[in-house]
Amino acid sequence: MRVPYVLKRKNYYRMKQLVFHPRITQLVILALTVSFLSGCSNSKQTKPTDTYTTGRIKLGIDDSYRLMMEAQLDVFTNIYNQASFDTIYNDETDIINLFLKDSIPAMIVSRPLTKQQSDALLSQRYVARTTVIGHDAIALILNKDNKTNQFLYDQVHDIFTGKISKWNQIDPKNNLGNISVVFDKQGSSNIRYFMDKFNLTKYPSNFGATKSNHEIINYVQTHKNAIGILSVNWISDPQDSVSNNFLSRIQVAGITSYAGSTSANTFYQPYQAYIVYKYYPFIRNIYFIDRQTYDGLASGLGAFLAGEKGQRIILRSGLVPATAPVTIVEIKH
């Protein structure tokens, strides 16, 4: 049956209005434009701007490891002169928060991510790659004039729990009065280490934060009753002028190895040999963690730190490398 001509004309005009209606045409063009621009934007965001040995990235570093990492980055960028880093030195809490917010792709800290933090990254399709690059110790530093420079492990525990708050509780002959304990910042990995170690939720009222590791040294140097808490990296590099300057202004406490030890046991300072053999009680790992989804500059730096050159720099810094062999030489007097 043939369709009447009038009906065909009516359908034709209806189709014409549908296809060529100005409002619909504008919406279609706008949708296509947004889709195109969005595709271009995503393309720019996901395209890497760095490689294994070139480019520029942000790097978060726990301030405990500033001296060691300054040496590492100096060597790395001299070898690979097309690589550079925007370094952020701060307390551990701030650095990890920046990492979780994707403000930095890599960091050097003294603890791995928690399961909750790793799961949060996985939900965003990121996998945190974690590498132990070395071993560190936390030193207790004292004023040069303080004659009480050795502690039993249990005495350190009691200082942190508040049971010991005066010097004469450790040595009856010590008349320096109240013990004043200082650390670098509120979010410091150093105070967090002891709070985890001794299962504390808060520290005593005679504890206080300064603003930097430099200020810890200055405070201890000018206050005979003080104990300072800082990474041994700041006082252990014999080739670093800053480290040598600090060490000349304070003394480092010796501590027995374990809970229940007595004065008949040996007191150990945080030397490399005592970190290797775990005679010194307050040691921890140093972690390099990155979240890049490709083999970029973060991966290149991580490989360098774990490689021969990076491990030698860690050794030279007074810390203990994770993989390179350490030779212990016994010197007999």
DSSP-assigned states of every residue in 262-301 = -TTSPPB---HHHHHTT-SS-EEEEEEEE--SSS-HHHHH
Average pLDDT over residues 108-132: 96
Q: 22-31, 118-127, 278-287: which has the minimum mean pLDDT?
A: 22-31
Q: What is the pLDDT of residue 48?
A: 85
In CATH, 55-128+286-321 is 1.10.3720.10: no
Overall average pLDDT of the 222-246 stretch: 84
Rounded Cα distance between 315 and 239, Å, is 11
- Look at residue 44 and tell me whether its pLDDT is greater than 90: no
- Coil vs helix vs strand at 42: helix
Domain locations in the chain? 5-42, 55-128+286-321, 136-283
**DSSP code of 202?**
S
**Cα–Cα distance measured from residue 74 to residue 68, given in angstroms and rounded to the nearest whole number:** 10
Mean pLDDT computed over every residue of the chain: 87
Please check whether the two domains, 55-128+286-321 and 136-283, share a CATH topology. yes
Give me the pLDDT at residue 235, please: 87
The yes-or-no verdict on residue 8 having pLDDT over 50 is: no
Residue 127 half-sphere exposure toward CB, CA atoms < 13 A: 6
Topology given in CATH for the domain delimited by 136-283: D-Maltodextrin-Binding Protein; domain 2 (3.40.190)
pTM of the model: 0.83
- Residue 329's pLDDT is 56
- Structure token pair of residue 285: 């790992």
CA 290 to chain centre: 11
Average pLDDT score over residue span 294-315: 97
Percentage of the chain beyond pLDDT 90 is 76
Mean pLDDT score, 292-317 = 96
> 268 pLDDT exceeds 90?
yes
Rounded Cα gap, residues 276 and 271, in angstroms? 9
Is a pLDDT exceeding 70 seen at residue 56?
Answer: yes
